[in-house]
Amino acid sequence: MDNDDVQDLDGREILPYYAVVKEAVDQYADDLLPFYDGPEDIKTKLESILPTVEVHEGKLYGCAVVACRQDLSERQWNDVMEYITGQYSDGWGEGFEQRDIEVDGGFLNVHFWQPERFEMLPVSAEYRESIKPVRPPMELIGHDGNIFAIMGRAAKLLRENGQNAESLEMRRRVTHCDNYYKALGIISEYVETELSVPRDLPPDPARRKKEKQHGGEVR
């Protein structure tokens, strides 16, 4: 590939590729805890360290979900973040950035670390939940029953709500869905409709498993 064909994308520019990047990370992600060689008193407080990506304020960020058995002190968190930084620069991240992620028009190589302006901050699970975007409301009754028209309205609402990644993911899932009512259910996960399940209820794992078995959802 010619160097002229290579383009650097920042967190905002790569956002439209959120779904395919997330899928690639999920497939390649390994628990980083077994390789942690820091103090034993820290390791015993940890359950797992899993690489992931998340959208925040219109940008896609490389992250790590750290599950703890006990609270960590500030010093201990700094040690864990230093370890993750090393994994993203020379370990797990070095391997992941060599994977070609196929997209329309070419390939992505995603870097979790960069030599300049790299920063890692601990964020609690409670804070992550508090910044989760609210589903924009959308009525189904009394509107065009064509699934592509419904999907288009929902995608527009999500974009207007600053949820570009969710809009793209929803469209992908609906497009691969083989049933009108399943498609309505998928749309209702992203926008608040008469069919939406309250956010404080867990998703039905049996329904999602059945969707995958019958080709209703491709991830």
pLDDT in tens, the chain (219 residues): 555 678 899 888 888 788 889 889 988 988 999 999 999 999 999 999 999 998 777 788 999 999 999 999 999 999 999 999 999 999 999 999 999 999 888 899 999 998 888 888 887 766 555 555 678 888 887 777 789 999 999 998 888 777 877 888 899 999 988 889 889 989 998 998 888 765 444 444 444 444 444 444 333
SS3 for 105? coil
β-bridge partners, 36 = none
Q: What pLDDT, on the 0 to 100 scale, is given for residue 213?
A: 46
To which residue do tokens 């864990």 refer? Answer: 80
Q: What pLDDT, on the 0 to 100 scale, is given for residue 54?
A: 85
The C-alpha atoms of residue 179 and residue 9 are separated, in whole angstroms, by: 36
Q: What pLDDT, on the 0 to 100 scale, is given for residue 15?
A: 81
CA dihedral 108, 111, 115, 121 (to 10 degrees): 140
* Main-chain dihedrals φ then ψ at residue 135, nearest 5 degrees: -65, 125
The C-alpha atoms of residue 91 and residue 75 are separated, in whole angstroms, by: 23
Q: What pLDDT, on the 0 to 100 scale, is given for residue 75?
A: 94
